[in-house]
Amino acid sequence: MSERTAFITGGTSGIGRACAESFIQQGISVFVMSRRQEAVDDTVTALNAASTSGAKAAGAVGDVTVVSDIDDAVAACVDTFGGIDILVNNAGRGGGGPITAISDELWDNIIETNLNSVFRVTRSVLKSGKMVDDGWGRIINIASTGGKQGVALATPYSASKNGVIGMTKALGLELATTGVTVNAVCPGFVETPMAEQVRLGHAQHFGRPEAEIKKEFESRIPIGRYTTTAEAAAMVTYLASDGAGAVTCQAMNVCGGLGRY
């Protein structure tokens, strides 16, 4: 896998950063896309310093809700590494509240960020040609168990992640004979900055301490704790491997038993 390249949206923090670190350790070059220049620079520097196999890291600033930013970042990755073999659609956001309090603006931004961007980034990467031309590729979308079973006070988030799962299955069928697999990873509660914001939102809504909300969430997880970003990234790394060539159109839970279908 030493000559392969992974393109990761939201690759400077959380699960995306953990995926980038895992790929570099596997000898896969990495291109990260994120909205903040400082985060991109810090991540690229750290990844290159950690590489012991000759794999390289690069990145670009861009917003996944802006089509020109997507196309520019994909073009920069192709120019830098010659193509894209692995795509991880990781960029996303939380958000919600009582349905009657959700504005059109909030709903639209969550759908744009979590669902429409997956379509647009995937389209741009596939148009670059390398995956299908080479007869090998991996598209891995970060969805959520919330996209399968719903999350109270997170209607737009659950709707967007359910859409990602549906797109994953449909595109996997479309590309099934090309050597390109398409899968989704569905984390449950993962300790990320987004998870902290979710807890704070619940704490504010219910008028309870954030630490109490966290304990309540943990009590719902059969293994009794949050999943780590490294554990979520391990599933992504597996799905990106040659050994996962027969795995496509799947939505794989990494959730400590929280989701069971």
The helix, strand and coil proportions of the chain, stated in percent and rounded to the nearest 5, come to 50, 15, 35
Predicted local confidence at residue 62, as pLDDT: 98
Residue ranges covered by each domain of the chain = 5-188+227-254
CATH architecture of 5-188+227-254: 3-Layer(aba) Sandwich (3.40)
Predicted local confidence at residue 20, as pLDDT: 98
Alpha-helical regions (H) of 11-114: 14-25, 37-50, 67-81, 104-111
**The whole model's pTM is what?**
0.94
Sign, CA dihedral 110-187-245-19, equals positive
Predicted local confidence at residue 217, as pLDDT: 87
Predicted local confidence at residue 2, as pLDDT: 61
What residues of the chain score a pLDDT lower than 70? 1-2
Mean per-residue pLDDT over the chain, rounded: 95
What would the pLDDT profile of 250-259 be if each residue is shown by its tens digit?
A: 999 999 999 9
d(Cα 78, Cα 126) in Å, to the nearest integer?
Answer: 12
Residue numbers annotated as active site = 157
Predicted local confidence at residue 138, as pLDDT: 98
Predicted local confidence at residue 218, as pLDDT: 93
In sequence order, which residues have a C-beta less than 8 Å from that of residue 136 and are 6 or more positions away?
A: 85, 179, 180
